[in-house]
Chain A
């Protein structure tokens, strides 16, 4: 098990390095000069050169990368061009909000998606199955940023039950006002994973139920609930790994939803970085999110290996 973990860790390192290269290159595929937004319009050539030197942009690319990576490893992601504050601080604050949103959406999506999937897999090819699959396919077909708008129209504009924008005034607190801000974005974000988890679970459960050993359990005289316990044990490893990956997608995919609801998370940060052409901020945010996803994948793999005896041996 330890060897498996270390091997996965070794494998993750080059991936993480590759991720950092892509993030670094983002700034350099951008058209135009990354400094145009901070430079005075009438800056002389000398002033421009001084500015470039100050940001290290006059050195060759590999050198720039090495410097950037060296700082990034120490937690220094540079300064935001627009606000002048350290990127790491800005991202840190935003990640906290995004994580909260992603966890809230997971808490909704995983139990609902799993139960729907189990129902459909158990009653395969019945009307229950067809209903659940219709819900699931509608869920994955919905552009969730649009669903967000529709929910705002219904629950905020028309009914006036829930707030439409933001995370509530002041710092986050676990009170009703702040929690009420979380409801609509979390529900919106949960729809797609509900569909995906339900479809995966249905396929897994259906497959396990059609296996010979389940027939053997019934033949031994086990009650359906006891059989279900065996099925759950067989579904759990893959099911958990699908959910783990979905959690990552929630975090990376909440950008559009955060924009719809003005939720002060990483997505919101990203879109403001894009519009102010604040490339260090864009770079830093993407790097943190992608690395989070890499680490999450690692954790999911290791967790899956820990509960699935078949992986440990191979």
Chain B
């Protein structure tokens, strides 16, 4: 009766003994599209960060006589804008602001929304009702409308854009974090941890967060593209970044008058927004499948 044999049980092959994150990285690297997008985004971000060291023309200095030069003009590889400023320099400097306003709100909303959602999901009861009902109210606004409403009331400016976009993305992230937390909380290992006498804070730190952050993070990455398009949209409407700052959405707006003269130049900032948001979307999809997160 005392003999214990493992004979009947399957012993897994050695190569399967790997940590979660190393297998995520391995799966991600096997996806050429996602890797390609990561490279493009990294290049854009690096260019934005190191723009001052790139030996570019002054993005603010215009010239009345060199306005709206076409692509490939000598000295202006991507032409000039309606005030004769170098498009290449403005697009690269523009990436700084667009990426900044496009990514920072999602990062902020990720932290705030996860904190709220995990609190609501783990605490349940009254706390859950309170947090989730407030979230429902903000959810009642389509995201574009809410962003424009808050930005419109606050007025133009970088900080105001960051604030309004962060507010827009907190509710959806809170909802996802709450629903993932609630389902994790119902699992037996959380009960086992409670039975061992652990407090709520310890259980959340050790057993809940590790299983909630992944799906919520993937969801947050899927919002980055929306946020960037919205951020540029606010500037396009004139309630985001103020001129003469280079920002893709704002450039689209100021170049609108140029569509009859030099349509290619007028389309350039949009192409940048499109490429960036496409890469963000594909990267998010790649992360989703690499991290095995279901919709």
B123 to chain A minimum Cβ distance, whole angstroms, is: 20
CA distance A293 to B85 in the complex (A): 43
Cα-based distance from A203 to B152 in the complex (angstroms): 37
Interface positions of B from 260 to 295, Cβ below 8 Å from A: 260, 263, 266-267, 269-270, 273-274, 277-278, 280-282, 285, 295
Please count how many residues in chain B sit with their CB below 8 Å of the partner chain's CB atoms.
Answer: 45
From known contacts A249-B142, A289-B145, infer whether A141 and B152 are also in contact, taking CB-CB under 8 Å.
no
Contacts of A88 in B (CB 8 A): none
CA of A279 to CA of B237 in the docked complex: distance in angstroms?
Answer: 17
Bound-complex Cα distance A290 to B148 (A): 12
123-169 of chain B: CB within 8 A of chain A: 133-134, 136-138, 140-145, 148-150, 152-155
A143 at interface by CB-CB < 8 Å: yes
B232 within 8 Å of A by Cβ?
Answer: yes
A274 touches B237 (CB 8 A): yes
Give the segment of A18-26, A59-67, A71-79, A178-186 that binds chain B: A18-26
Given contacts A203-B295, A259-B237, contact A26 B141 (CB under 8 A): no
Q: Which residues on the A side are within 8 Å of B263 (C-beta)?
A: 153, 157-158
* Contact A137 B267, beta carbon cutoff 8 Å: no
Q: A275 to B140: give the CA distance in the assembly, Å.
A: 25
A29 → B minimal CB distance (Å):
5
Given contacts A15-B140, A149-B267, A256-B236, contact A143 B152 (CB under 8 A): no
Q: Select the residue from A26, A143, A259, A294 with max chain B CB neighbours within 10 A.
A: A143
B119 interface hit (Cβ, 8 Å): no
Q: What residues of B have a CB within 8 angstroms of the CB of A27 in the complex?
A: 153
- Closest-by-CB residue of A relative to B271 is A146
Cβ of A297 and Cβ of B252 under 8 Å apart? no
> Complex: how many Å from CA A122 to CA B195?
47
| CB <8 Å contact, A149 and B252 | yes
Distance, CA A27 to CA B150, complexed state (A): 10
What residues on B are CB-neighbors of A273 within 8 Å? 152
Say yes or no for A255: interface residue by CB 8 A criterion: yes
Confirm or deny: B239 has a beta carbon within 8 angstroms of a beta carbon on chain A: yes
B47 on the A face (CB < 8 A): no
Q: Which residue of B lies closest to A195 (CB)?
A: B281
Interface string of A256-278 (1 = CB under 8 A from B): 10010000000000110111000
Query: Total number of A-B contacts with CB less than 8 angstroms?
Result: 137
Task: Point out the residue from B141, B145, B237 that lies within 8 Å of A271, measured CB to CB.
Answer: B237
Instruction: Decide if B229 is an interface residue (CB 8 Å cutoff).
Output: yes
Given A22, A30, A147, A259, which contacts B155 in the complex, CB threshold below 8 Å? A30
Query: How far is B150's CA from A23's CA once the two chains are assembled, in angstroms?
Result: 9
Question: Which residues of chain B have C-beta atoms less than 8 A from A19's C-beta?
Answer: 137, 140-141
Nearest B residue (CB) for A164: B259
Which residues of A lie under 8 Å from residue B252 when comparing CB positions?
143, 145-146, 149
Q: Does B246 contact A (CB under 8 A)?
A: no
Residue of B nearest to A273 (CB): B152
B236 and A18 within 8 A (CB)? no
Q: Are A137 and B153 in contact (CB under 8 A)?
A: no
Please tell me if B194 contacts chain A, counting CB pairs below 8 Å.
no
B121 CB–A CB distance under 8 Å: no
Q: Is A252 an interface residue (CB 8 A)?
A: yes
Which of A147, A255, A273, A294 has the largest number of chain B CB atoms within 10 A? A255
Partner among B137, B153, B229 whose Cβ is within 8 Å of the Cβ of A143: B229
Q: If the complex has contacts A27-B153, A146-B252, A157-B260, are A252 and B270 also in contact, measured as CB distance less than 8 A?
A: no
A138 CB to closest chain B CB (Å) equals 7
Residues of A within 8 A of B (CB): 14-16, 18-19, 21-23, 26-27, 29-31, 137-138, 140-143, 145-147, 149-150, 152-153, 157-158, 203, 248-249, 251-253, 255-256, 259, 270-271, 273-275, 279, 282, 286, 289-290, 293-294, 297
Q: What are the nearest 10 A-B pairs in CB distance?
A: A146-B270, A252-B142, A18-B137, A252-B145, A141-B278, A274-B152, A253-B144, A141-B277, A153-B263, A26-B153
Name 14 A/B residue pairs within 8 A (Cβ), A-sorted: A15-B140, A26-B150, A141-B274, A141-B281, A145-B236, A146-B270, A147-B270, A149-B266, A152-B259, A248-B142, A286-B145, A286-B149, A289-B145, A290-B141
